[in-house]
Structure 1
Amino acid sequence: MNQKTSPAFVAASWIALAAGTIGFALGLWRAEMLLNEKGYYFTVLMFGLFAVISLQKSVRDRLEGFPVTDAYYGICWFGTILSIVLLAVGLFNATILPSEKGFYAFAFLLAIFGAIAVQKNTRDNLAANRPPERNQTD
């Protein structure tokens, strides 16, 4: 049985994704750091968003019986973990206030949570709109 995701959760997911991504980007825009540092953090954010969406899709594909190679599945997990580690290492070594480090960390986590939730909601709603499969004996 496939149910549509509630509009409230869909909206909350999009808001989380937007708040995390836009907040992170605005923080970078206003930050007093070199352009290459800003580029590093922005690239880590985009890499993290792609990695978690790809991971969510591959996990869901496996649950639904679609073939996903172990190599791709492993790369998805590696990319997700690597993006979090890269952010953590960058923030640990950054010469910014601890409050700014916390802001970037939580904006990043909110953005990747939002991306996972939006991907899940999209997949759930597509499955709910799909006509039920008929049994071969019908």
Structure 2
Amino acid sequence: MANEPEFLVDKEREEDRKATIERKEGEPTAAFKGASWAALLIGVAAYLIGLFNASMELNEKGYYFAVLIFGLYAAVSLQKAVRDKDEGIPVTSIYYGISWFALIVSVALIGIGLYNAGSIILSEKGFYAMAFVLSLFAAVTVQKNIRDTQRARERD
């Protein structure tokens, strides 16, 4: 840098300053957003690939697919309801209760389904359970990141 003209050094400093300013206060970092999306894609993809390659009946595969979709929706819905309530945004008690109920039911359905699945070996049951939990957690995190980003950008 010592041999570079002053205007090039100033330009590099300005670009560095812009890169750090682009992220608004309260907005998650790009690395955290990327990690959250990666976890969601990996969890859902692993679950679906495992389901596609499983040697179970098509109706069983449909059950596990429906439980995954239901669980993802329930987790995001509950996260939104909890956060809305925390931020003073009106949430009806029926919606809040249904959100909790839906998440509990989806987790119970995957647990009961895996417990009763005689055609799946124990290691596969563990795989499905972990991919399911990873997917739910990642979906909540992605939704939180989207909301935090939106909120941070609305402040300006």
Instruction: Give the TM-score of the pair, scaled to structure 1.
Output: 0.93
2: distance between equivalents of 1:4 and 1:106?
A: 29
Aligned length: 132
2: distance between equivalents of 1:37 and 1:2?
A: 46
Displacement of 1:131: 2.7
Partner of 1:127: 151
Q: Does structure 1 residue 62 correspond to structure 2 residue 90?
A: no
Larger radius of gyration: 2
Q: Does structure 1 residue 116 correspond to structure 2 residue 140?
A: yes
1: distance between equivalents of 2:25 and 2:88?
A: 15
Give the secondary structure class of the aligned counterpart of 1:119.
helix
Q: Which runs of 4+ in 1 moved over 3 A?
A: none
Equivalent of residue 11 in structure 1, options 34, 39, 47: 34
Q: Does structure 1 residue 75 correspond to structure 2 residue 64?
A: no
1: distance between equivalents of 2:143 and 2:155?
A: 20
Backbone CA RMSD of aligned residues: 1.2
Gaps of 5+ in 1: 133-138
Give the secondary structure class of the aligned counterpart of 1:68.
coil
Partner of 2:20: none
Instruction: Give the TM-score of the pair, scaled to structure 2.
Output: 0.82
Equivalent of residue 38 in structure 1, options 58, 61, 85: 61
Contact 1:51 1:79 in 2 (8 A): yes
Q: Which amino acid aligns with 2:134?
A: L
Equivalent of residue 27 in structure 1, options 50, 68, 73: 50
2: distance between equivalents of 1:31 and 1:114?
A: 24
For 1:17-65, what per-residue CA distance to the aligned partner results, in whole angstroms no more than 9, with x for missing partners?
Answer: 1111111000000000000000000000000000000001111111111
What fraction of aligned residue pairs are identical, expressed as a percent?
A: 54
